[in-house]
Chains A and B, each alone.
Chain A
Amino acid sequence: MDLFFNLLINGLATGMLIFLLAAGLTLIFGLMDVLNFAHGGLFVWGAYAGIFVYAWSGSFTVGILGAILTGLVFGWITEKLIITPVYGNHVQQILITLGYMLVLSEFIKVTFGPNGIPVEVPPALAGSWELGDVIVIKYRIFIILIGFVIFGIFQYTLKRTKVGLIVRAGVMNKEMVQVLGINIKRVFLFVFMTGSALAALGGVLMAPYSGVIYSEMGMEYAILGFIVVVIGGMGSFSGSLMAAILVGLAGSFMAYYVPYLSLAVNMILMAIVLIFRPQGLFSNAKEG
């Protein structure tokens, strides 16, 4: 039973990290209709910048804030320079963001060196609780909590506040929102920056969890993020939470019970979902 709980918590924590990444992707794709293949680059910059700030200031909270700030700044630059010229053209979006991804992950190597950097769990969150036979690692619980808090905040903002209303209306009908006197460009910029900040937050939280950060992890996790977005349904916020948890659990249970399949399980999951339900598991939208 304790094994089951360990795998469960492990899977949930991984799922939450992927959720932070996928949530940014969902926001950016679902609301702005932009395919951002450079999301992993923002993730890895968040991780490096956050850990850098953490090492410099000695406080993990400051590190997290640093990562979020980095995400916002990078999101601003990216939207202005990279995304604005290619609004409305998916093929160009795919191509340009891929090129940008290359630049981002190579600049990591230029700035922080080509080798991976080991990261330790901050002392306040290190260690574990023992509940009977079950050993619960604190940091994983911390990640799970943050994931749910972020989900709650975003769900509330999107569904209950005026900002969310404007954003959702902008998705439905861009021109109409503009006619009402709202600068839709600024709304999109804001959404993109938020998505980037979520990616950066995911990056810095991931760093102590996996123990090491390296420049290629951007692409690896971005693929996971994409898989989650596809499974959950493009643009569905709660869908990506469900799908992220599903992918996290599938990964953690598979790694224990069927190790040789664990690397492929996400791909298989996505392929099956796409073939039988291309619009995603939790999306009410029509196909495509």
Chain B
Amino acid sequence: MKQGKFYSLKNIILLIIVIVLILFPYIVDSRTLTILMTQIFVFSILAISYDILLGYTGIVSFGHAMFFGMGAYSTAIMLSKYDHTMTIFLVSILVGMLFAGIVSFLVGLLTLRLKSHFFAMLTLAISGLFLVVAEKWRTVTKGNDGFTFRAPDAFRDRIFFYFFVLACLVVIFLLLRRFVSSPLGKVLIAVRENEQRTRSLGFKTLYYKVFASIVAGVIASLSGSLYAMSLRFVNTSVMSMDITLDALLMTIIGGVGTLVGPIIGSFVIEIAQHYLSGLAKDYPIFERWIIFFGLLYILAVIFFPRGIVGSIYSKYLIWKSKKVTSKQQSPTIPIANDKERFD
């Protein structure tokens, strides 16, 4: 899809949403909701980064949680070992990103030559390895018990932290939008559609895929840092498979291959998770709310493969082409182009 002008409808809607989100903590005077929203933004960043892999490059990674965990641990460890200042926090984000970048580079270089299923399993294995290291290296990570740490003074104010995370999300969103519409991003989409053909056009697809996995890994690490900071606590669950599954589900529900999709997905999932686990007090079946998530997964893959954003957008395309055809009286059948996606 062509990038519209700055004043396009899409940008105006996004601007309005951002303004509403900025005003949100002042309108809604609820600490719980502010924290929930912060959590949603954190997971939005993670889900967007996952979508760079799944939606734009077409590779399924099961090791995304390890980058998330790297960010979380680098922040937690640095803030507890050194001073709890803002500088240290920012440095710890950078350290986490650097580390995640190096690891995703090495892992990607070794594994991305393999076909999708081998890659999925190998990432599963490698992230399992990192989880084992985190569990066993108790002197640093304190294993599954985890440890708490002190946040910088500025973050005592939950509203300030809310803005900080929101700003991160907006910046990441804009950067990634630029990224996927750049020539490099187009090559990634070409890899997703047909890797063989892209290669025969002379692109070294391995390099592009490795680059995509580095971008995804680095951003996942950022979201991990923010996550640890929002909880002020870290344990090995940040590296568990559940985190990857959450990111996956958010991406699928919201819309694969779009940037807005994962954000909407994380809204839906986090809010559903919040209220479903709240319902468990009254209805015991909701203790097992993961069942609903599993069913959601299955139904989404079968009936809703393009997610919320993708489905709405294809409806919009059909509607638009209908309008055009009725004007032109042309007999062409309006079919939304499957390759064209909302970004």
Contacts and interface: CB of A to CB of B under 8 A. Distances in A.
B54 to A, nearest CB: 8
A264 B129 contact: yes
B122 A271 contact: yes
Interface residues on B, range: 35 or more
Contact of B117 (A35, A102, A107, A267): A35
Given A91-B58, A110-B291, A98 B132 contact: no
A99 B302 CA distance: 11
Contacts of B120: 35, 94
Contacts of B297: 95-96, 98-100, 102
Contacts of A219: 241
Contacts of A158: none
Interface string A250-281: 00000000001001101110110011001000
B125 A271 contact: yes
A219 B241 CA distance: 10
Contacts of A181: none
Contacts, number: 105
Nearest to B290: A106
Interface in A65-111: 82, 85-86, 90-92, 94-96, 98-103, 106-107, 109-110
Contacts of B27: none
A221 to B, nearest CB: 13
Contact of A264 (B124, B132, B294): B132
B98 to A, nearest CB: 23
B113 interface: yes
A223 interface: yes
A95 B248 contact: yes
Given A99-B298, A106-B288, A270 B117 contact: no
Contacts of B124: 223, 226
B219 interface: no
A82 B298 contact: yes
Interface string A169-202: 0000000000000000000000000000000000
Nearest to B299: A99
Interface string B105-136: 00000110111111011101110110010001
B121 A230 contact: yes
B19 to A, nearest CB: 35
A18 interface: no
Contacts of B132: 263-264, 267
A132 interface: no
B176 interface: no
Given A102-B245, A264-B129, A278-B113, A109 B288 contact: yes
Contacts of A82: 298
Contacts of B305: 92
Contacts of A102: 245, 290-291, 293-294, 297
A107 B288 CA distance: 8
B288 to A, nearest CB: 5
- State the majority secondary structure of interface residues on A: helix
Contact of B118 (A103, A230, A260): A230
Residue from the set A109, A260, A274 with the largest chain B CB neighbour count within 10 Å = A274
A123 interface: no
Interface in B22-37: none
A167 interface: no
B279 interface: no
B293 to A, nearest CB: 6
Contacts of A107: 291
A200 B54 CA distance: 32
B60 interface: yes
Given A278-B114, A288-B115, A270 B294 contact: no
A103 B115 CA distance: 27
B295 interface: yes
A267 B126 contact: yes
A90 B241 contact: no
B116 to A, nearest CB: 5
B252 interface: yes
A96 B121 contact: no
Contact of B116 (A85, A86, A91, A278): A91
19 contacts: A35-B120, A91-B60, A94-B117, A94-B120, A95-B60, A96-B297, A99-B295, A99-B297, A99-B298, A101-B294, A102-B290, A106-B288, A110-B291, A219-B241, A223-B125, A227-B125, A274-B114, A274-B122, A278-B113
Q: Which 9 A-B pairs have the closest CB atoms?
A: A99-B297, A102-B294, A103-B294, A96-B301, A267-B125, A106-B291, A99-B298, A267-B129, A99-B294
Given A91-B60, A98-B248, 18 more contacts: A86-B301, A86-B302, A91-B58, A94-B60, A95-B60, A96-B297, A98-B245, A99-B298, A101-B294, A102-B245, A102-B293, A103-B294, A107-B291, A110-B291, A223-B128, A226-B124, A275-B110, A278-B113
Interface of B: 54, 58, 60, 110-111, 113-118, 120-122, 124-126, 128-129, 132, 136, 241, 245, 248, 252, 285, 288, 290-291, 293-298, 300-302, 305
